[in-house]
Amino acid sequence: MKVNTTINGMKRILDVKPDEYLLDTLRRHNYLSVRRGCDTTSCGVCTILIDDKPVPSCAFLSVRAEGKRITTVEGIPKEAEKLSEHFGATGADQCGFCNPGIALSVYALKKSQKKVTAETLKHYLTGHLCRCTGYQSQHKAIKEYLGDSNE
């Protein structure tokens, strides 16, 4: 099936099967920042943005991308770079497998201009599992990034 969609600002026509998920479609088209972690929508590493909202690409049927805007971390290089500086400063990057997904959720949050407290930020990011850091350094980095971008 043909799907008309926009990926990172570029119009693309994708050829997909009716039971194919965006995770597979995107990886096949070399959007390799979209990662496969758990197969059960449990871990967050496959997160992408559909019309600026984070969704797990492993459960998003590719046919449903018709007319939608897809964003992967390749589409927000400046924001990702800036966030990486904060991660670097707090020692929050370890294996980094979960980082692109987190970057997208954080970017979506920032774009939504919702006011967040430290506690609501935690709840907002709960779906992103990390087995390396213990989370606290990530949160510190993200808070600083959001603080920065609010200025």
CB of 151 to another protein, least distance (A): 21
Within 53-112, the residues that bind another protein by CB under 8 A are: 53-56, 58-61, 63-64, 66, 72-74, 77, 80-81, 83-85, 87-100, 103, 105
| Number of residues this chain uses to bind another protein (CB under 8 A) | 74
Helices 118-125 and 99-112, axial angle in degrees (round to 10): 130
Within 112-141, the residues that bind another protein by CB under 8 A are: 122-139
CB of 28 to another protein, least distance (A): 9
Residue closer to another protein, measured from CB, 110 or 122: 122
Residue closer to another protein, measured from CB, 12 or 36: 36
First to last CA, the chain: 45
**What stretches of the chain show up as alpha helix (H) in DSSP?**
22-28, 77-90, 99-112, 118-125, 136-150
Among 1, 15, 29, 147, binds another protein (CB under 8 A): 1
CB contact at 8 A, 87 and 107:
no
CB contact at 8 A, 91 and 137:
yes
Residues in contact with another protein, shown as a per-residue x/- string from 2 to 41 under the rule CB under 8 A: ----------------xx-x----------xxxxxxxxxx
What CA–CA distance (Å, rounded) separates 93 from 89?
A: 9
